[in-house]
Chain A
Amino acid sequence: MNDLTSLTIHEAHDLLKQKKVSSLELTKAHLERIAAVEPKVKAYVSVTEEIALAQAHEADARISRGEIGPLTGIPMQLKDNLAVNGTRTTCSSKMLENFVSPYDSTVAKRLKTAGAVLLGKGNMDEFAMGSSTENSAFFPTKNPWALDRVPGGSSGGPAAAVAAGECLFSLGSDTGGSIRQPASFCSITGLKPTYGLVSRFGLVAFASSLDQIGPMTKDVRDSATVLQAIAGYDSMDSTSANRPVPDYSASLKDNITGMKIGVPKEYFDGVDADVGEVLKRAMGQLAQLGAIIDYNVSLPSTPYALAVYYILAPSEASANLARYDGVKYGFSANAPTMWHSMEQTRQQGFGPEVKRRIMLGTYALSSGYYDAYYLKAQKVRTLIRREFDEAFKKYDALVTPTSPTPPFKFGDKVADPVKMYLSDVDTIPVNIAGIAGISVPAGFIEGLPVGMQLIGPSFSEETLFRIAHAYQQATGWHKLRAPVQ
């Protein structure tokens, strides 16, 4: 890996500011890195070289006028379910293979305004449904730490691109763990912000009460910088929270002495013994930094979160994906009548996991089953939220594994949906409660990354950054770069 592609955002920013490097040099170095490693990693659905070079020129012009912000001239990737005007947004689905967005998502617009440079769009599980990128209709992404293993999902392309030095940062979306689990698998930092903190306008909808966009970066400082650029009220998203955005970088200065961190025991049930050991060491380090760790926390409704999620998310998805009818945009099967065309469009345009979830959601919402499934799941959702609310009266944050296992091999889980779903068992409760969670690198098992998840109450991103940053300063796992060449 050459020097420029191993940098963090803040290191690259310092070089740009001191005029030791130009955005064009930085951008070209990343395009070269993409050309070199993409045949192995396959993290990009599309590379937008022309846009990148034009935006880099523009950024250099701004910098020469002395107008430099923290993201000016910084090369980035975006997950391919985020709309960028005039570029393809495929969701890694045959349904949207040739769809060109007619407008910018709010996050893309804000990053453009901040001067970031778009290198391209990241591969994902189709419509963000999956935990390994094996559900991409185009190709799976490989883990840059071990090419025979999955990078996690659904934001596997973004996680692998950041880990392999193919961009300085990316944005993912997280409905049940789709930022944090791949961040854990690829040894990067991934934040799922509080529901409502980042506008979902221009994010292709999966499960609207759970979806949230967040930064995927090389360290916590970069995560704070990217969140600062994308957070805040947006009238185009009716679930956007109208509240002031704090200065996230300021929270990195404080130590964590006396902070109270709880360890909910249910999150360690069914976790690989090796992963448990890594977490034990990480918690020991948090204690050494002055945090008060309580190992006896219980959130008894946790075991029900997976079932709640696999009722609510497919139900919402079945409604959101009804729009793909082959009439207005997207893939359209040729058949003599409208109904035949619609049924064949959806048969040919959606992959197996998407169909499975549409079927599941349609069943859960259908007449006679609504109370037993959907309504029941919404009630248990309330119980899960209440338990978190109670816990956060006593603790500043909770610490758990991000995923029960290190990255697994291709083909290990794809044949058994229930087995695959278990990969998100530790991240799902956070989406159900709408609160904030971050995954940071916590070590390795035989060369395979393991992540630590920190969970905080709604709008506690400053607290999570503070703890996670202190941990990174003391450990340095985040400084190790993936070996792929």
Chain B
Amino acid sequence: MRLSREEVVHIASLCRITMTDEDIARFQDQLSNILQQFEALKKVNTEGVPPTAQSLSLHNVLRDDSPRPSLSREDVLRNAPQQQEDQLRIRAVLEE
């Protein structure tokens, strides 16, 4: 199974990662090679086998909905790349 150039470009856009032509060519080879290894799973009979999402037998762990202190605004904003008036500042969402 070999990924097409268009497929790689599509995956990169879903991942929100800019790619150069060189990146696309490299990932096309490498990802195709890795996907080739996955073909082995087709040989396994999994008829009637339920999927495992995690290894503990836990279901919907919920906590009480009670108020408690959170991080301070100052602590939260300390790592923000851009901020303004005690809030995160983002770049323009709508293009002209």
CA distance A380 to B42 in the complex (A): 10
Q: Hey, which chain A residues are within 8 Å of B63, CB to CB? A: 235
CA distance A331 to B80 in the complex (A): 9
Beta-carbon nearest neighbor of B60 in chain A: A238
Min CB distance B6 to A, Å, is 13
Q: Is the CB of A358 within 8 A of B53?
A: no
Q: Hey, which chain A residues are within 8 Å of B31, CB to CB? A: 356, 359-360, 363
Q: Is the CB of A359 within 8 A of B91?
A: no
CA distance A219 to B82 in the complex (A): 47
Question: Does A341 lie at the interface of the complex (its beta carbon under 8 Å from any beta carbon of B)?
Answer: yes
Question: Does A257 lie at the interface of the complex (its beta carbon under 8 Å from any beta carbon of B)?
Answer: no
Q: Hey, which chain A residues are within 8 Å of B84, CB to CB? A: none
Q: Is the CB of B95 within 8 A of A337?
A: yes
B1-29 interface bits toward A, Cβ cutoff 8 Å, 1 = contact, 0 = none: 00100011001101111110001000100
With most chain A CB atoms within 10 A of its CB, the pick from B15, B35, B88 is B15
Min CB distance B19 to A, Å, is 7
CA distance A326 to B53 in the complex (A): 30
Known contacts A308-B41, A343-B16: does B53 contact A332 (CB below 8 Å)?
no
Question: Does A347 lie at the interface of the complex (its beta carbon under 8 Å from any beta carbon of B)?
Answer: yes
Q: Is the CB of A343 within 8 A of B18?
A: yes
Known contacts A327-B88, A335-B91, A336-B91: does B41 contact A239 (CB below 8 Å)?
no
Q: Is the CB of B56 within 8 A of A239?
A: yes
CA distance A49 to B60 in the complex (A): 42
Partner of A103, one of B35, B54, B71: B71
Number of A positions contacting B (CB below 8 A): 67
Partner of A355, one of B17, B44, B88: B17
Known contacts A195-B54, A304-B40, A337-B91: does B79 contact A330 (CB below 8 Å)?
yes
Q: Hey, which chain A residues are within 8 Å of B37, CB to CB? A: 306-307, 310, 418
Q: Is the CB of B50 within 8 A of A382?
A: yes
Known contacts A196-B56, A383-B46: does B41 contact A100 (CB below 8 Å)?
no
Question: Does A458 lie at the interface of the complex (its beta carbon under 8 Å from any beta carbon of B)?
Answer: yes
Beta-carbon nearest neighbor of A378 in chain B: B51
CA distance A327 to B17 in the complex (A): 15
A323-349 interface bits toward B, Cβ cutoff 8 Å, 1 = contact, 0 = none: 001111111100111111111101100
Question: Does A311 lie at the interface of the complex (its beta carbon under 8 Å from any beta carbon of B)?
Answer: yes
CA distance A123 to B27 in the complex (A): 26
CA distance A331 to B79 in the complex (A): 10
Q: Hey, which chain B residues are within 8 Å of A381, CB to CB? A: 51-52
Q: Is the CB of A329 within 8 A of B50?
A: no
Q: Hey, which chain B residues are within 8 Å of A435, CB to CB? A: 55
Question: Does B85 lie at the interface of the complex (its beta carbon under 8 Å from any beta carbon of A)?
Answer: no
Q: Is the CB of A356 within 8 A of B15?
A: no
Q: Is the CB of B14 within 8 A of A241?
A: no
Partner of B11, one of A98, A325, A366, A458: A366
Q: Hey, which chain A residues are within 8 Å of B82, CB to CB? A: 332
Number of B positions contacting A (CB below 8 A): 50
Min CB distance A342 to B, Å, is 5
Q: Is the CB of B11 within 8 A of A382?
A: no
Known contacts A102-B71, A238-B61, A327-B81: does B91 contact A385 (CB below 8 Å)?
no
A282-321 interface bits toward B, Cβ cutoff 8 Å, 1 = contact, 0 = none: 0000000000000000000101101110110000001000
Beta-carbon nearest neighbor of A349 in chain B: B17
Min CB distance A134 to B, Å, is 16
Min CB distance A44 to B, Å, is 22
CA distance A196 to B56 in the complex (A): 7
Q: Hey, which chain B residues are within 8 Å of A336, CB to CB? A: 91-92
Q: Is the CB of B58 within 8 A of A239?
A: yes
Q: Is the CB of A304 within 8 A of B41?
A: yes
Question: Does A377 lie at the interface of the complex (its beta carbon under 8 Å from any beta carbon of B)?
Answer: yes
Question: Does A258 lie at the interface of the complex (its beta carbon under 8 Å from any beta carbon of B)?
Answer: no
Q: Is the CB of B49 within 8 A of A239?
A: no
CA distance A332 to B30 in the complex (A): 27
Q: Hey, which chain B residues are within 8 Å of A235, CB to CB? A: 63
Partner of B55, one of A99, A100, A326, A433: A433
Question: Does A434 lie at the interface of the complex (its beta carbon under 8 Å from any beta carbon of B)?
Answer: yes
CA distance A100 to B34 in the complex (A): 35
Question: Does A375 lie at the interface of the complex (its beta carbon under 8 Å from any beta carbon of B)?
Answer: yes
Top-7 shortest CB links A-B: A434-B55, A378-B51, A332-B81, A329-B79, A379-B46, A347-B18, A238-B61
Given contact pairs A308-B41, A346-B18, A380-B49, enumerate 6 new A-B contacts (beta carbons under 8 Å).
A99-B79, A196-B56, A310-B37, A381-B52, A418-B33, A434-B56
